[in-house]
Amino acid sequence: MAGKGPPGDEFSMLVEDLHEWEARQQRAREAQPDEAADGPLRLVWTIAAWCAAATSLWLAVPQAGPGPAQIRKDLLHLLEQSRSAVERSRLRTGELPTRIPSPALASLVSYHPLGGGGGYELEARLGAQIIIWRSRQPDRFEERRL
């Protein structure tokens, strides 16, 4: 039940309020530089986190090799090279070779002479893709996937 005090008291309360207000302002001013310093740090951290996520993803996802279309193209190239090597040998010697004359191609393409008639079969495989070519059906390529 505080009654109305003398005018001096009101004035001192006003001064106290003013002091409190000043102190709050001061604290706010002191707090502001911290936030200003946190701003760039937060930005750097965000960029670093983004880079880390991107590089982790790049590491996790295997680097893309040649696609199925390129592999098919390379398989057909190998078959054509092997066919050419076998035919050249047949022209020179008059008979089918026992293996593909080029050792580099022989390590890449399976060669199966077929009994009688001078036919043969070539099988090239890269990754999970296989293409088989038979000299008796030169226009057909049998394609398989493992």
Partner 1 sequence: MKSRPLQILLALALLVMTLALAYPMYVDYREREISAEIVERYREIESRIRAHLDDAGESADCAALSAMVDGRALQFDGVTVDIGFAPVELGARRGYRPVFVVCGATGQGHALDVARYAHRHFAAINRIEAGPVVRDSVVGFAAPLSAPDHIACFVPSPELPRLCGRTYPPTKGEDAG
Residues that bind partner 1 (CB under 8 A): 34, 38, 41-42, 44-45, 48-49, 51-52, 55-56, 58-59, 65-66, 70-71, 74, 77-78, 81, 85, 89, 92-93, 97-113, 120, 125-128
End-to-end CA distance of the chain: 95
Q: How far is the CB of 138 from partner 1 (least distance, A)?
A: 18
Which token pair is 96?
A: 């089918």
Amino acid at 117: G
Secondary element (H or E) of residue 103: helix 103-106
Q: How far is the CB of 139 from partner 1 (least distance, A)?
A: 22
Characterise 16 by phi-psi region: left (phi > 0), alpha (psi -120 to 50), beta (else).
Answer: alpha
Distance CA 136, CA 144 (A): 19
Closer residue to partner 1, CB minimum distance, 126 or 141:
126
Q: How far is the CB of 137 from partner 1 (least distance, A)?
A: 18
User: In this structure, are residues 93 and 83 in contact, taking their beta carbons and an 8 Å threshold?
Assistant: no
Q: How far is the CB of 115 from partner 1 (least distance, A)?
A: 14
Q: How many residues does the chain have?
A: 146
Closer residue to partner 1, CB minimum distance, 26 or 93:
93
Closer residue to partner 1, CB minimum distance, 8 or 107:
107
Closer residue to partner 1, CB minimum distance, 46 or 137:
46
